[in-house]
Amino acid sequence: MTKNALWVALLGSIGALGTAFIAQYVFDLWPCVLCLYQRWPYAVVIVISLAGIALRKRVEIGPLLLLCALAFAITAAIGGYHVGVEQGWWEGTAECVGDTAKASSLQDLKAKIMSTPIVRCDEVAWSLFGISMAGYNVIFGAVLAVFSVFAALSSFRNR
């Protein structure tokens, strides 16, 4: 399990980001700020996984897998928060309603509003079986986090 665990983390992260970019650029499902926050941990896992794969002969992969698990848990937590915002369980962040405060004039404000797609965090843009994209991210991130923890533990036992 540990031999290919970094590959699983890498491919899972590429798949998650690929799905997000396809949804955005092919199906015009523009992300809100919380959607964007959920992407960053996957990018971190890609960097960690590539480094671990490149250095696997010289570096212990257990700690790298724990870092991957942490990143997956973070994206799942952000996704869980996002699901709560979508469901109205709590309010989103100030960024969830759009960023127009940095405009220096009325013309700048109008240009910014007209050029930016308005995407609110509390509106579900797409769902399948009643689960939003943020909900699927919670599931996917949590599964990958648990997998990474077990792979790391296996790596520590096999030392």
The predicted structure's pLDDT at residue 97:
67
| Half-sphere exposure of residue 90: CA atoms within 13 angstroms, side-chain side | 8
**Number of helical H runs and strand E runs in the chain:** 5, 2
Exposed, middle or buried: residue 106 (CB in 10 Å: 0-12, 13-18, 19+)?
Answer: exposed
The predicted structure's pLDDT at residue 116:
63
The predicted structure's pLDDT at residue 119:
77
Token output for 111:
């240009």
10-residue averages of pLDDT along the chain (159 residues) = 87 96 91 91 97 90 95 97 89 69 68 68 80 92 97 87
The predicted structure's pLDDT at residue 64:
95
- Domain with residue 74: its CATH number is 1.20.1550
Asked if 33 and 122 count as a contact pair (C-beta separation under 8 A), the reply is no
What is the total count of domains within the chain? 1
72, β-bridge pairs? none
The structure's pTM equals: 0.84
Radius of gyration, alpha carbons of the chain: 18
C-alpha 143: how far from chain center: 13
Residue with tokens 């996957």: 42
**Domain residue limits at 137:** 5-157
Say which DSSP state 131 is in. Answer: E
Asked if 155 and 67 count as a contact pair (C-beta separation under 8 A), the reply is no
